[in-house]
Amino acid sequence: MDMDGTVTRFNLDFTQARRRVLQDLEAMKLRTPEMSEQMSIYLMLKRLKETLDKDTFLKIRRKFYDILQEMEVGAAQEVELYPGALETLRKLRTYQVKIGLVTNNGRAGTETTFRRLALSEFFDVVVTRDDCEEMKPDPGPVRKALRSVRVHPQDAMLVGDGLMDIRAAKAAGLSSVAVSTGPFPRERLLEAQPDYLLNSINDLPTLLEHMSN
């Protein structure tokens, strides 16, 4: 399960984060023509990893992660649960299923959100950006969560509000459940061909009950 835009209201300014990253790349003379405010930081890092030596790449990645962490911790001080999400998580906890959180946020911002909103009790595993070499849509974080709870991909689904969640699910061999509560319109989500499209996480118990019948 994703966090921002799925369990909590989406309140991160990714455009501002990309702008800051691009300014740094410009200063380091590493910005290429394809790098713009429309390109995700994940993709920028993928491009840099292909051309830079390992030590240089890791230093730059750490710098970018520090920018993201600063913004995420700030956003976590104000983020709110999506309406009905707490009741849904409580209901899901009564089912015989494992629940994991896989987020591209860093550990610091995630822990701040968990403390403020008392979310720890609802998740069997939490995988953040700081726990993996890659971020979604790479399947690595999803596979790490599955290994932790000993669940096979064919027995799992990834619920999220973003295109990267759908792509990560497909790459890891899971069913993908898109929710239209984040920044992506339903049309964009449908173009990525999720297995299911829900109005919100609150429809998830109904889906699970339908699948079990």
Structure tokens belonging to residue 82: 């999506």
pLDDT level of residue 141 (50, 70, 90 thresholds): very high
Task: Tell me how far apart the alpha carbons of residues 37 and 25 are, in angstroms, rounded to a whole number.
Answer: 12
Least trusted range by pLDDT, from 7-16, 96-105, 112-121, 138-147: 7-16
For the chain, the domains span: 14-76, 85-212
pLDDT score, position 1? 97
Written as one string, the DSSP assignment of 84-97 is THHHHHHHHHTSS-
pLDDT score, position 2? 98
Average pLDDT (194-213) is: 95
Written as one string, the DSSP assignment of the chain is ---BTTTB-----HHHHHHHHHHHHHHTT---TT--TTS-HHHHHHHHHHHS-HHHHHHHHHHHHHHHHHHHHHHHTT--BPTTHHHHHHHHHTSS---EEE-SS-HHHHHHHHHHHT-GGG-SEEE-GGGSSS-TTSSHHHHHHHHHHT--GGG-EEEESSHHHHHHHHHHT-EEEEETTSSS-HHHHHHT--SEEESSGGGHHHHHHHHH-
pLDDT score, position 212? 83
CATH code at 85-212 = 3.40.50.1000
Percentage above 70 pLDDT, the chain: 100
Question: Which residue, among 152, 98, 154, 153, has the nearest Cα to 126 in the 3D structure?
Answer: 98
Quote the distance between the C-alpha of residue 22 and its chain's center.
Answer: 21
